[in-house]
Structure 1
Amino acid sequence: MSNEIKFSGLRACFWPITAHESKKIIPLASLMFFVLFNYTILRDIKDSLILTAPGCGSESFSFLKLWGTLPFAIIIMGLYSKASLVLSRPNLFRATVIMFVTFFTVFGFVIFPNADILHASPEWITTTAHQYPNFRYVIALVGNWSYSLFFIFAELWGNIALSVLFWQFANEITKISEARRVYPLLGLIANVGGFLAGQGLVVLAKSTKHLPEADRWAYSMKWVILALVICACTVLYIHHWIVTRIMTDATLYDPDTQGAKKKKVKLSFMQGMKAVFSSQYIGFLVILPLAYGITINFVEATFKNQVKIMFKTPTDIMEFYGNYSSITSTVTAVLMIIGANLTRLFSWRFCALATPVMTLVAGSLFFAILLLQEKTSCVLSSLAISPITISVYLGVALIALSKGTKYALFDPTKEMAYIPLDDDLRTQGKAAVDGVGGRLGKSGSGIIQQTFFLVSATATQMSIAPYLAMLLVGFCLIWIISVSKLSVLFEKARAEKNM
């Protein structure tokens, strides 16, 4: 007989937690809230810095992610692995968070106020870029080195503080019987943190409108850095409280039970490729995250180019991104609640097709509006609406829907696809999909865009937009075909195991 606790009504949707479990779940949810609060602020600020830095633009992101974030992530994760052999898990968590706190504090109160002195002059960046036009975006990123470094650490907060530190800690203290009820709740809490962080940036930007732009941006950055440091210190305090109060309570934490969880298998990239080509099922499955990563990055990179055209100052961009984050968090939370019911009521194929179809429709519509700006400008001007305004706010809506569908349906259906597999294939397949599909999805878009920029000295985000639109349609169609093929194999595997 199952010992799983049952809830009904609204409580089953919003708080499927017993009173005794609340002592553990409330601080754990608070921990995720502050991690995601910082993640949202960092995501919005890093884009504001790079989009308005001399010589930089949306074209810079693909270079920075591939040649900055990726090498730093490899180095820091290597150091993390070495430190894990010496430090206890709680001390490793603290040391990693303190590393981020130290960098953001030094950046905010030492480097940023003296950026004009520490950075290359705009004249040097312009002159050198003219001498080496194919590398103009790399030159600008080197010239604005501290902004590039802030971007890298902001990206790593998501990769390390959220994906590694938080989820490892959550997996360590959460029982398997609790995870199905607790983890969806944590997703909703995360979106509340994202919404409030976005609105915090909006309030900050509006409260400084009376100041000159240089003072306005400097004042905003001081408060942003202060908020980041306070939230990170709060993360340290909550983590310490859980370690000393929860992990010493045998009714809430059983190290023997938690230790029984299977250790996640990691494969090298080549081992992952071998697993992909040895199984048709895994081959179709790996296309899902690969196609999503490439297509959403095509849209986001072009969208950010339009944001830079519409908003000229970093504070205005910060305010816009604050509203954008709040909208995305709200849409995602609503779709996550809806998605939980859709996966129960409809077939796997129907739910798995929702994300590629949404991305195809949303992406195609975004690029169509963008590429037809000149033809629609006369009609829109009569309505007192500029084409750039339409493309930016349409981009907000479409990206929010695509991301919301991803979290609500893409992730659950991808995880469901592993269920009917044998234990060995399930374990190796998941490692292969995360390793190959995840890596190529994140870097593939950047490599494609960089090829255009490096080959042509005159290429810009707008000039390559028609090619990105065609590639987006192609990848989405491959994605849809893969889901259809995979659904046949999925249903066949379920039937064989009577699931």
Structure 2
Amino acid sequence: MLCLFFCLSFTNTILDSLKDTLVITAPGGGASVVPFLTVYAVLPSSLLFLVAYSWASQRMSRAALFNAIVVGFGGFFALFALFLMPNAESLHLHALADSMQQVLPAGLGGAVGMVRNWTYTLFFCAAELWGDVCMGLLFWGLANDITSLQDAPTAYPLLGLGANVAQAAAGLVLKAMTAARASGAGAAGFCREVQATMAVVLGMAAVALAVHRHITVTLPPPEHQAELPPPPLGHLSSGFSSESFSSSASNSGKRSQGSNGHLDLALEAGWQHPAPAQAAGAWQHTARDPEQQQQQQQQQQQQQQQQQQEAEGADDSGKKRYSLADTFAVLAGSLEIRCLAVMSLAQGLCSSLMEFVWKSHMRLLYPSPSDFTAFLGDVATWTGVVTIGLMIVSPVLFDRLGWRGVANATPQILLFGGTFFFAAAVAYQHWFGSAAAAAAAAGVAAPAPWLLGGLVIGGALLYAFSKGAKFSLFKPAEEMVYITLDEAGRTRGKAAIDVVGAQVGGQCIRGSC
């Protein structure tokens, strides 16, 4: 699992940095193109993928689905490296974009740039989806299947060690490639750099496929779910306690319980955790009045009827097929899924706002593609190092702070760090905004480099710590909740949150930029 996450994360870091460089430094591009790309290209792509994934997940095994998705991404990246990138200038719609620019208002210049450099638009969408799909959905879906509940609080944070070693290594590789290109021949040298980078990406994808096959063959899913009667009105408490773990209700009636001390799902009044002397997985009710017993019996009967209806609606393979409406019904019908969706939306909104402002100022400080890419490589290395450090101490943080304290780490970093960052950004734009825009148009250095440099470095630190907290603390805490859900919540509900939810939060703010 560590090797698999290493490969996926290395590839994601390379793609994430390269997509920004292509879009922001391209002729007719810039930071203003990114909001239009994310709203009118990435979000529709995410929705289309969700539809396709919902359909395919009912007809393909998890292993076959993983292979098909990774091979599909690899095919596009090979096409981009061998055909689209070398012929980008002849393929790009410069004449159409010039005509659009003459009739459209200046505020739609980003949309014109998106159309002009359409091959980079496709690459941007694919790179964005790689992170959400291959890392957020496929990898963690596999981890949820093969990781026992007792091992999750310790294993999940440490799983990311390999991923963030890969991120730091990818940053060094990016900077090395940029240094080699600095002595190369302009656009031709950059094209060769992109092709070499895509060769590395394809190699990592091939290794990921091989490792995934080894995992699925040698590591069957553990039996970490016990048969339990459904508790009424289960919901997330204020935090995960340090004494026990009890799961919420599911359609299948399968539930988990551990004693590792890192998780707890509290139930409504009238339910409590089993005493140590009881058998594992047993539930204890504190109130035994006839009315409550009757309600419990009615709920059990409703669950049995639902299971019978699902069995009757299954296909020949015994696997029920769900529509897209069923996927969103899972999102609406589970309190845990709804809470995770809100968390994902808020996370995406805050991160996207910060990144947009930061990269806009970074473009002023580093106008050349070489300098821009080199700095992104440094940021990737810093982010990897910070995340590794947080992952090492994350088991201790889960013990000391509990689930709620760990899950709140990323929002608190963005809140307090973002306050100082945006104050500096507002100050720079107030005093030097007009002069900076004129300097960017003339291709000369931006004014007040001391303030601009501090703003960019501060944004890089905020980015590194917020991303590190997200993947070492916030993401493992989120995945611990998925373990307690049924198959519908862990597949379709997770897909709706990871692929679409994370994007929608960003689109809300980017669409207003």
Deviation per CA, 1:328-370: give whole Å up to 9, x if none: 1111111222333233224666555443332122112111222
Q: Contact 2:23–2:29 at 8 Å: present in 1 too? A: yes
CA 1:213/1:328 → structure 2, altered by over 3 Å: closer, same or farther? same
Deviation per CA, 1:190-247: give whole Å up to 9, x if none: 111111111111111112221233133112111101101111111122223344xx43
Structure with the greater alpha carbon radius of gyration: 2
Greater helix content: 1
Match of 2:78 among 105, 109, 126: 105
Q: Contact 1:172–1:258 at 8 Å: present in 2 too? A: no
Q: Contact 2:164–2:385 at 8 Å: present in 1 too? A: yes
Question: How far apart are residue 432 of structure 1 and its match?
Answer: 7.7
CA 1:347/1:88 → structure 2, altered by over 3 Å: closer, same or farther? closer
| 1:151-190 correspondence runs (5 A) | 151-190=124-163
Inter-partner Cα distance in structure 2 for 1:207 and 1:39: 22
Q: Which residue number in structure 1 is paired with residue 378 of structure 2?
A: 323
Q: Contact 1:196–1:326 at 8 Å: present in 2 too? A: yes
Inter-partner Cα distance in structure 2 for 1:45 and 1:338: 31
The 10-residue stretch of structure 1 (159-168 or 173-182) with the greater mean CA deviation from structure 2: 173-182
Q: Which residue number in structure 2 is paired with residue 393 of structure 1?
A: 457
Superposed CA RMSD in Å reads 3.8
Q: Contact 1:173–1:258 at 8 Å: present in 2 too? A: no
CA 1:349/1:362 → structure 2, altered by over 3 Å: closer, same or farther? same
Match of 2:26 among 40, 49, 53: 53
1:239 aligns with 2:205: no
Inter-partner Cα distance in structure 2 for 1:163 and 1:214: 34
Q: Which residue number in structure 2 is paired with residue 129 of structure 1?
A: 101
Inter-partner Cα distance in structure 2 for 1:88 and 1:415: 21
Inter-partner Cα distance in structure 2 for 1:143 and 1:407: 35
Q: Which residue number in structure 2 is paired with residue 19 of structure 1?
A: none
Question: How far apart are residue 256 of structure 1 and its match?
Answer: 7.3
Runs (5+) with no aligned partner, structure 1: 1-27, 248-252, 453-499
1:201 aligns with 2:170: no
Letter in structure 2 aligned against 1:298: L
Inter-partner Cα distance in structure 1 for 2:403 and 2:67: 41
Q: Report the secondary structure of 2:87's partner residue.
A: helix
Inter-partner Cα distance in structure 2 for 1:71 and 1:409: 29
The 10-residue stretch of structure 1 (147-156 or 128-137) with the greater mean CA deviation from structure 2: 128-137
Q: Report the secondary structure of 2:184's partner residue.
A: coil
Inter-partner Cα distance in structure 2 for 1:31 and 1:239: 7
TM-score, normalised by the number of residues in structure 1: 0.70
TM-score, normalised by the number of residues in structure 2: 0.69
Match of 1:224 among 180, 183, 197: 197
Percent identity between matched residues is 31
The 10-residue stretch of structure 1 (234-243 or 144-153) with the greater mean CA deviation from structure 2: 234-243
Q: Contact 2:383–2:468 at 8 Å: present in 1 too? A: yes
Q: Report the secondary structure of 1:295's partner residue.
A: helix
Letter in structure 2 aligned against 1:331: V
Match of 2:427 among 351, 372, 375: 372
Inter-partner Cα distance in structure 1 for 2:222 and 2:473: 33
Match of 1:356 among 411, 415, 436: 411
Inter-partner Cα distance in structure 2 for 1:438 and 1:115: 29
Match of 2:503 among 442, 445, 469: 442
1:300 aligns with 2:272: no
| 1:409-428 correspondence runs (5 A) | 409-411=473-475
Letter in structure 2 aligned against 1:198: G
Inter-partner Cα distance in structure 1 for 2:392 and 2:503: 27
1:341 aligns with 2:396: yes
CA 1:132/1:285 → structure 2, altered by over 3 Å: closer, same or farther? same
CA 1:109/1:440 → structure 2, altered by over 3 Å: closer, same or farther? closer
1:67 aligns with 2:67: no
Inter-partner Cα distance in structure 2 for 1:155 and 1:273: 26
Letter in structure 1 aligned against 2:9: L
| 1:261-276 correspondence runs (5 A) | 268-269=327-328, 272=331
Match of 2:114 among 141, 156, 162: 141
